[in-house]
Structure 1
């Protein structure tokens, strides 16, 4: 299995290289200190797996992973970071593993042991599982009977305690689905930007400031989009950078 280490910290790269070498059955292709170097090395050596840091100068590891996920053939991503808060965003970026620094040998062995039992096509398939059939309409039952809303009209889903609302230009529809169920069913159409919000990619127009340090998404057809949490901000920026 061919592996490329991508991390801006020399000591972290050295530790990762030593541990990978100890595992065996690993061809260590080299190292990159940032996303730009990584892209050049990926084009040159075609690694099977990236051991990828998240927080780096310039383009983040999340942004790099999102960019690679758009390609027909790309390496599997195993994130390695000092922060556990990026786990959800990492798996949204189609990572197949998530390790915390300092890397523990047994956890590294477990991830690569699993990958070593798969061929390259199977590794790629881990991030490309076939999506289930998607509904074209959502329904809600109320005092006036059943209301229907086309999924294509929804600008965003917002969860408030145990209720989920589908927000559209004409108002809101209270639905029975959980946000997690909606995220799984409409993964190709909606992007999670907060633990309580999914936004429609086709209507995503940009990011705007909210307060001193916060951000909101700008969505076509609604006056005010939902807030973006800090952990999902790199993912939203990456999608906007590539034209959504």
Structure 2
């Protein structure tokens, strides 16, 4: 198995030393460098081209979140696992496409699992290239999502509806509910052939519509596999009825 080249970024020498010791017992990793701040880390990334960056968030100068955003904009960015003492940055951290979010003191087994996730996500680069080509014409088959377990890849085929909720979108799928850090407009633009808008705050999967049901003076769309029945707006109701007549 090819080893992951790891860069450790933390302003605390003891924290860097602890991570270095833990990585030494994970066969799939080799530490190629360390940095005490984001400026030095960026230079190390450019010089060493690591596969994985273990990144603290609060450091002198620019934060780890700012560095992660810069890294995610690169053509071939390294994977990022945040290692921090603060739990309040989880959502903005995953918005940078981080693979993991670990709280200090870092547990070896949790670190091992996060590293394994990096390997699964980055393993065959050729497959990723093939997926990217497919996405250009058909849209993604999986969407990156945030949960208490960290970042996950949610299969689009399992999603039955997408509901706007404050700043986020909640995907209702066969295994429950998951927060997506993408707008409903962006999702509709990409998946417009598979999801139809029934309300300004709701998209439903066309292939899994069962029918309409009355709810007082309103209508709701019933979907196969999930209890959620999104409300249909009065403006959208005629087109939704026509669609259901066509497919049901």
TM-score, normalised relative to structure 1: 0.52
Q: 1:110 to 1:68 in 2, by over 3 A?
A: same
Q: 1:106 to 1:62 in 2, by over 3 A?
A: same
Secondary structure in structure 2 of the residue aligned to 1:23: coil
Aligned to 1:52: 55
Output the aligned Cα RMSD: 3.5
User: For the Cα contact (< 8 Å) 1:74–1:124, is it kept in 2?
Assistant: no
User: For the Cα contact (< 8 Å) 2:79–2:118, is it kept in 1?
Assistant: no
Q: Distance in 2 between matches of 1:40 and 1:52?
A: 14
Secondary structure in structure 1 of the residue aligned to 2:6: strand
Q: Distance in 2 between matches of 1:158 and 1:12?
A: 38
Aligned to 1:86: 89
How far off its partner does 1:158 sit? 8.3
Secondary structure in structure 1 of the residue aligned to 2:89: helix
How far off its partner does 1:181 sit? 8.1
Q: Distance in 2 between matches of 1:122 and 1:54?
A: 32
Q: 1:122 to 1:87 in 2, by over 3 A?
A: farther
Instruction: Kindly indicate whether residue 21 of structure 2 is the aligned counterpart of residue 14 of structure 1.
Output: no
Q: Distance in 2 between matches of 1:116 and 1:6?
A: 20
User: What is the aligned residue count?
Assistant: 148
Q: Distance in 1 between matches of 2:127 and 2:107?
A: 22
Identify which of 166, 179, 187 aligns with 1:159: 166
User: For the Cα contact (< 8 Å) 2:56–2:82, is it kept in 1?
Assistant: yes
- Which structure 2 segments of 5+ residues have no match? 140-163, 168-178, 190-248
Map 1:20-169 → 2, pairs under 5 A: 20-117=23-120, 118-119=122-123, 121=125, 130=135, 159=166
Q: Distance in 2 between matches of 1:9 and 1:85?
A: 20
- Structure 1 runs (4+) deviating above 3 angstroms are 122-125, 128-133, 157-160, 179-182
Instruction: Kindly indicate whether residue 5 of structure 2 is the aligned counterpart of residue 2 of structure 1.
Output: yes
TM-score, normalised relative to structure 2: 0.52
How far off its partner does 1:114 sit? 2.6
Q: Distance in 2 between matches of 1:87 and 1:123?
A: 29
Larger radius of gyration: 2
User: For the Cα contact (< 8 Å) 1:48–1:120, is it kept in 2?
Assistant: no
User: For the Cα contact (< 8 Å) 2:54–2:82, is it kept in 1?
Assistant: yes
